[in-house]
Structure 1
Amino acid sequence: MALTKLNQLYRQVILDHSSHPHHHGDLEHATNRSDLTNPTCGDVLQLQLVIEDQIIKDIRFDGSGCTISQASASMMTDVVIGKTVAESLLLADQFSLLVQGKEVAKLEELGDAALLSGVAQFPARIKCATLSWKALEKALVK
């Protein structure tokens, strides 16, 4: 089964985020942190944020995992930086619905993360895609 040109483009964006992740590394003066592991496949993620006046001023992640997990974390950091805590929690909820194959109201606000909608066809990969978003929720809800 040949991939369409659009599917190839989506795949390339996902691979690029995984190979060259955005906002990757340590954040020395983090105000909020979260560490999560996906016990199913062993993906590990450490998330660090700087939150000032309920706005995510900076965000970084580190860890190891599959292409989907790492790409999703990179995409998530791009989406939430500069957003309020409330906006970020709403986007995390929307992303969770998206990868479960459900309709979302704010698809365009998910940026490149919307490209992971195809994960819904592979239920075993949903936890990989949502790991960083769950870490974000954990870090924001103290």
Structure 2
Amino acid sequence: MALSKLESLYMAVVADHSKHPHHQGKIAGAHQVDLNNPTCGDAINLSLQLDETGETIQDIAFVNAGCTISTASASMMTDLVLGKTKTEVLELAQVFSEMVQGKTDVRQKDLGDAAFLAGVAKFPQRVKCATLAWNALKKGLNEE
């Protein structure tokens, strides 16, 4: 696949998640986490509900006011982590963080659509946008 086709695919996937985010909203009775990125104004409220054992994400949703990257990343993240254990989620968050910081030896295939955000590494000012939802998730899991 030519580079221009890869770039087009990247743009299409990111744009779709941004325009039609998955798992958007609030979950009544779920743990709520608010986080913002003061450098650009992005903000997110993440609703996180664990199963009865407290180990697996049973439901997740978000409400945000943010840029395309921030919204797309939150949508991709919620798709990816639903039904996963805390341990699995924290490992994925680490892989994602390393990927958007430009580390090339990470397991991008484990990230699903979120792997399309690898290009963010070329724009350091956008890393915080891409990681906002993931940081809210880590904060929420640590509070649970």
The TM-score, its normalising length taken from structure 2, stands at 0.93
Residue equivalent to 1:35: 34
Q: Which runs of 4+ in 1 moved over 3 A?
A: none
* Identical positions, percent: 56
What RMSD, in angstroms, separates the aligned Cα atoms of the two structures?
Answer: 1.1
2:34·2:44 contact (CA, 8 Å) conserved in 1? yes
Equivalent position SS for 1:4 = helix
1:36·1:135 contact (CA, 8 Å) conserved in 2? yes
1:49·1:56 contact (CA, 8 Å) conserved in 2? yes
1:65 corresponds to 2:66: yes
Shift of 1:106: 2.7
Task: Summarize the Cα distance change of 1:104–1:132 in structure 2 as closer, same or farther, 3 Å threshold.
Answer: farther
Query: Structure 1 stretch 7-16 or stretch 98-107: which is displaced more?
Result: 98-107
Residues 12-35 of structure 1 deviation map (CA, whole Å, 9 limit, x = unaligned): 1000000000000011121x2211
Equivalent position SS for 1:36 = strand
Shift of 1:107: 1.5
The TM-score, its normalising length taken from structure 1, stands at 0.94
Residue equivalent to 1:138: 139
In 1, distance between residues paired with 2:57 and 2:91? Answer: 14
One-letter code aligned to 1:46? N
Residue equivalent to 2:82: 81
1:45·1:63 contact (CA, 8 Å) conserved in 2? yes
The within-5 A match list for 1:1-142 is 4-30=4-30, 32-52=31-51, 53=53, 54-142=55-143
Q: Number of residue pairs matched?
A: 139
Equivalent position SS for 2:59 = strand
One-letter code aligned to 2:28? E
In 2, distance between residues paired with 1:133 and 1:18? Answer: 16
2:42·2:66 contact (CA, 8 Å) conserved in 1? yes
2:98·2:106 contact (CA, 8 Å) conserved in 1? no
